[in-house]
């Protein structure tokens, strides 16, 4: 059975029918997450065996965790403006920009504007990747 999550809109937060918001605890570490939340739009709950599609919001002044791991990310910016660190380089990004973070690349997203910075982020299904020997 297919699944539809109807978009409910919103000013600061964007919401969807049947999708919960998960807020990351703020960290006081320099490379820790601050002002970050995620909504899993497609994933295990929808029965997706091979990938997941998540929607991330980063508040003004916030940043995602300074991260590095064996799986990769496909990202497209939907709202606001920010910076992305990819390895040793830093790029400014805004609506529509696409970012591919390959396996093992250091990466971090930072909100550099006064409004919500938000993006979609695709990953492989971790259980599937583990069973396939990737992780």
CB of 114 to a copy of itself, least distance (A): 20
Binding mask 8-47 for a copy of itself (x = CB under 8 A): -x----x-x--x---------------------xx---xx
Query: 58 and 64 in contact (C-beta within 8 Å)?
Result: yes
Residue 88, Cβ density class (10 Å: 0-12 exposed, 13-18 middle, ≥19 buried): exposed
Binding mask 48-87 for a copy of itself (x = CB under 8 A): xxxxxx-----------------xx-x-xx------x-xx
Question: Which string of DSSP letters, residue by residue, matches 75-99?
Answer: EEEEES-EEEEETTEEEEE-TT-EE
Residues 6+ apart with CB under 8 A from 11: none
Site residues, a copy of itself (CB under 8 A)? 1-7, 9, 14, 16, 19, 41-42, 46-53, 71-72, 74, 76-77, 84, 86-87, 89, 91, 93-103, 105, 107, 120, 122-124, 128-129, 131-132, 134
């Amino acid at each position: 059975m297919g699944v539809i999550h109807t978009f409910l809109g919103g000013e600061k937060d964007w919401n969807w029918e049947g999708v919960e918001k998960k807020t990351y605890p703020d960290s006081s570490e320099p490379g820790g997450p601050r002002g970050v939340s995620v909504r899993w739009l497609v994933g295990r709950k929808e029965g997706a065996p091979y990938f997941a599609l998540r929607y991330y919001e980063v508040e003004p002044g916030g940043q995602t965790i300074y991260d590095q791991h064996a799986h990769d990310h496909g990202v497209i910016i939907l709202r606001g403006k920010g910076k992305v660190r990819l390895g040793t380089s830093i790029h400014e990004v805004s609506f529509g920009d696409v970012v591919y973070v390959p396996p093992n690349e250091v990466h971090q997203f930072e909100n550099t504007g006064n409004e919500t910075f938000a993006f979609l982020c695709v990953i492989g299904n971790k259980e599937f990747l583990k069973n396939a020997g990737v992780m």
